[in-house]
């Protein structure tokens, strides 16, 4: 069978583009998830890569989520999905680089959950987002945790309990995605967003992600205490970096934008 996960490096070697390509619905079985985990772990560990863009093959499905055909063949719901969990990056430890999901069609079940886990999401005009699991006698594990934190409770409940479908404009209105684009401009929109991220200092981006991951579940006072504890490695690295000195020293000068070194 052809490879289900294709990768390309763009952006002068700084952006990893990942295509999930499993016709007809880009559904994910355990083997595909493990391959995605490998790809995203390499992205995490490669110092030259700073942003990843994940999209689906074709123009109908971003991903239909868990491969129900694999389930019917005996694949367990709690199978080994790889270091990063289902979809490759959703639970990947020590990831301090952002992922952009370029949703090229329907994001269903686990496909929607993957998009929820990304730092940024852009979607085509015909994209649809929904979680059908309760109607199948199971639950969307990650969705049950993430969605009530991202939406008003009554909206999250209607999606989780009753299978409400969101179109791209609704998803934008509720703050689940950053932008809506025509089909032929989806990847261009994602790449433009990646370029704006690349204009920021890489250690600063990593520090922000680390702080968010470490403090989002804490009270405000505890979050500040955690940030100032000295225990957040990326934050401490950013504070002591050459880039932290470069940015302020170049601000307002005629030397052009800061030249980030990542150290």
Which ranges constitute the DSSP H helices of 118-240?
141-150, 153-162, 168-173, 186-198, 202-215, 220-227, 233-239
Q: Give the confidence band of 254 by pLDDT, cuts at 50, 70, 90.
A: low
* Total number of domains constituting the chain: 2
Q: Is there a single domain that holds both residue 41 and residue 83?
A: yes
256 in a structural domain: no
Q: What is the mean pLDDT of residues 18-31?
A: 95
Residues 180-223: pLDDT tens digits? 999 999 999 999 999 999 999 999 999 999 999 999 889 999 89
* CATH assignment at residue 153: 3.90.226.10
CA distance 79 to 76: 5
pLDDT of residue 75: 67
Q: Is there a single domain that holds both residue 161 and residue 40?
A: yes
Q: Is there a single domain that holds both residue 36 and residue 109?
A: yes
Q: Is there a single domain that holds both residue 140 and residue 210?
A: no
Catalytic residues: 113, 133
**In this prediction, what percent of the chain has a pLDDT beyond 90?**
75
Instruction: Copy the structure tokens of residue 75.
Output: 């694949």
DSSP structure class, residue 66: B
Q: 228 lies in which domain range? A: 202-250
Residues 103-136: pLDDT tens digits? 999 999 999 999 999 999 999 999 999 999 999 8
262 in a structural domain: no
259 in a structural domain: no
Residues 35-53: pLDDT tens digits? 999 999 999 999 999 999 9
Query: Which residues, listed in sequence order, are joined to residue 179 by a DSSP beta bridge?
Result: 122
């Amino acid at each position: 069978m052809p490879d289900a996960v294709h990768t390309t490096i763009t952006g002068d070697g700084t952006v990893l583009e990942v295509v999930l390509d499993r016709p007809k619905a880009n559904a994910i079985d355990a083997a595909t998830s493990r391959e995605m985990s490998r790809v995203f772990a390499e992205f995490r560990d490669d110092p030259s890569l700073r942003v990843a863009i994940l999209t689906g093959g074709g123009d109908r499905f971003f991903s239909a989520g868990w491969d129900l055909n694999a389930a019917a063949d005996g694949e367990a719901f709690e199978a080994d999905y790889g270091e990063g969990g289902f979809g490759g990056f959703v639970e990947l430890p020590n990831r301090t680089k952002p992922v952009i999901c370029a949703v090229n069609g329907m994001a269903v079940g686990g496909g929607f959950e993957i998009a929820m886990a990304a730092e940024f999401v852009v979607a085509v005009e015909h994209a649809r987002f929904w979680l059908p699991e309760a109607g199948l006698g199971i639950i969307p594990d990650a969705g049950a945790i993430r969605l009530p934190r991202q939406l008003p409770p009554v909206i999250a409940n209607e999606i989780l309990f009753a299978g409400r479908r969101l179109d791209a404009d609704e998803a934008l209105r509720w703050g689940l995605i950053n932008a809506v684009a025509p089909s032929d401009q989806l990847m261009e929109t994602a790449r433009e967003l990646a370029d704006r991220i690349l204009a920021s200092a890489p250690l600063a981006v990593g520090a922000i992600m680390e702080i968010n991951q470490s403090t989002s579940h804490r009270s405000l006072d505890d979050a500040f205490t955690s940030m100032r504890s000295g225990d957040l490695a990326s934050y401490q690295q950013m504070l002591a970096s050459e880039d932290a000195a470069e940015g302020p020293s170049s601000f307002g000068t005629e030397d052009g934008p800061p030249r980030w070194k990542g150290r």
